[in-house]
Chains A and B, each alone.
Chain A
Amino acid sequence: MNKVVADTAMSNPASIHKKRSKTNWRDHVAGYLFIAPMLIGSIVLILFPIIASFFLSLTDWNFVTGFGGASFIGLDNFAMLFNDPVFLKGLSNNFILLLVVPIGLAISLVIAVIINKGVYFKDTFKVVYFLPYISSTVAIALVFQVLFHPTSGPINQILMALGVENVPGWIASSDWSLISVMIIIIWTQLGFQTILYLAALQNIPASLYEAADVDGASKLYQFFKITVPLVTPTTFLLLIQGFVHSFKVFDLIMVLTEGGPANSSTIPVLYLYQQAFEELKTGYASAVAVILFLILITITFLQWIGQKKWVNY
């Protein structure tokens, strides 16, 4: 913007006044016309709804009684939610789910380091590890439903052939359903994380490793003392993105377990959907939406603070 102003100022001083006012008028109209579709769409379909969510969460509206039967009930929905065992179970499940992020990041950093320097056919490996990330989650969930079948699924057949006595019940067992979900999330996100780590590794100067080689530092030592610290910004970014993603895992759980058995794999987004579109409790479900929104805003806020910290270095 500054540059445009400077350019105008440098042109012939005699015509400057007339030209500038004319340009400005044109610029304003053009600017508004260019952003109009985006701005109107965002306001109507995104900004207004988020405000409406807050409002709805304070009412007892449900689709059955309609808007006429709704009344303002203050924070009652929130009080009810924090006494709702299914919601609380979902919330604690979601926090357990966050574990997939550090585990996935550790694996993907190792994969990225190996792909970066240690192997031929780099591009092929990139594509291979990326496949699950772009595949349809619904289809993946259906495939894993069969793979994880407790008695005749291939995974348990392999485990039994390897001599495991008590094979896990996977998605059919309330002890293992959340773990099954976590394994699939790690598997699908690994390619994405690896790609970002690969990009970060490009930015580490080779001279650092050469100097370490001269000093006789082992590869393992170099990994922990050079690679890990220098990819921290990426690690932080992926950690935040992963946390945010963990709160949005709807498709996978909906198709794989529907939150079961016995709510052992439910999370708030799933509960929101069930309350809103199966139980038709609009107000109550909106309270879940508000809590979800507040959690994600908090995570985003942490990201801002963290990023500022890195800019200062």
Chain B
Amino acid sequence: MSIGLRLKMIKWPKLLATLLFAVVGLLFIAPFLWMISSSFKVEADVLKFPIEWIPSQWNAVENYKEVWFGAHSFVLYYWNSIKVAIATTLGSAAFSCLAAYAFAKIPFRGRDSLFLIVLATYMIPPQAIIIPQYLIYSEIGLIDSHLGLILLNCFSAFGTFMLRQFFLSVNDEIIESAKMDGAGHFRTFANIAVPLVKPALATYAILRFIWTWNDYQNPLVFLRSDTLYTIQIGIKQFADAHGSIYSLMMAAAVSAIVPLLIVFIIGQKQVIEGIAQGSVKG
């Protein structure tokens, strides 16, 4: 007992657990490591066993050149994805933020029932409405356009709900005193309230960016032209064209995943805390 206690004080078990856990963690991300290492290899070495984690023959430049500047150029897919993801993020953040502020801080008639209407959309799974959305889009000519794709994800009940929670915690007196100084609702919103919820807004924006970037179903259904394809459709196209060339497929997978990982690692605190808070609160 006393030995155990002393060991605990110098935290040997914790160190040992850390090492053990590091091994488990490595196993956990082994698929990623395998993907990255394979993307650098010549095709013949990809399925060699035992696995060569560090390639003996490097073919990285050729593989990535094919991904980025070959027949299915990732440059175009990336550009499309960046456009769609940024526009969706901005649009969705703006609409959700405006509505959230009004639902939290502006007293107007019918506010609570209108909030319920928006909240009700949260329960509707996107797949249950994709057919009517498609029909509406073919009527108004939004099939096969980035604008149509962007609009699909611009009206987020989740974002409105989450941001409303944060606006609710903004002190009413701050808002009132801005009004006393003669600021209208929009100026109060833009100059006083939004800066106060900036961290929550950043969290939501990062999440929305990641979700849009990774979206596969909407581009699959609503886009037709190769020139409009986003990265998720692009990588599938590329894989179908190079189906049996695994080193190229892995270079494509790395190209699709790694930039997002960088966004995530930069914003990790926002994302992790945001997900923990947002989901726990409801």
Contacts and interface: CB of A to CB of B under 8 A. Distances in A.
Q: Decide if A and B are genuine partners.
A: yes
A127 B268 CA distance: 7
Contacts, number: 286
Nearest to A118: B17
A139 B280 contact: no
A161 B49 contact: yes
B103 A35 contact: yes
A115 B20 CA distance: 12
A199 B280 contact: yes
A297 interface: yes
Interface in A91-135: 114-115, 118-121, 123, 125-132, 134-135
Contacts of A119: 14, 17-18, 21
B31 interface: yes
Contact of B272 (A37, A120, A130, A293): A130
Contacts of B256: 136, 138-139
B30 to A, nearest CB: 9
B31 to A, nearest CB: 6
The contact size tier of chain B is: 35 or more
Contacts of B129: 45-46, 49-50, 52-53, 289
Contact of A139 (B121, B126, B186, B253): B253
A199 B217 contact: no
B108 A300 contact: no
B interface secondary structure, majority: helix
Interface stretch (B54-62, B94-102, B197-205): B94-102
B106 A31 contact: yes
A222 interface: no
B257 A39 contact: no
Given A47-B121, A56-B132, A114-B17, A38 B127 contact: no
A142 B249 CA distance: 7
A250 interface: yes
B235 A146 contact: no
Given A34-B185, A139-B253, A247-B125, A7 B99 contact: no
The contact size tier of chain A is: 35 or more
A234 B281 CA distance: 11
Residue of A26, A27, A35, A118 most packed against chain B (CB within 10 A): A35
Contacts of B275: 192, 195-196
A198 B50 CA distance: 37
B10 interface: no
A42 interface: yes
Interface in B211-252: 213-214, 216-217, 220-221, 231-232, 235-236, 239, 246, 249-250, 252
A41 B108 contact: no
Contacts of B174: none
A135 B275 CA distance: 15
Interface string B94-119: 11101101110011110100100110
Closest 5 CB pairs of A and B: A31-B108, A34-B102, A49-B132, A41-B155, A38-B99
16 contacts: A30-B106, A31-B102, A32-B108, A34-B99, A37-B155, A41-B95, A41-B154, A50-B128, A129-B28, A131-B29, A136-B235, A138-B214, A157-B47, A244-B125, A251-B216, A290-B128
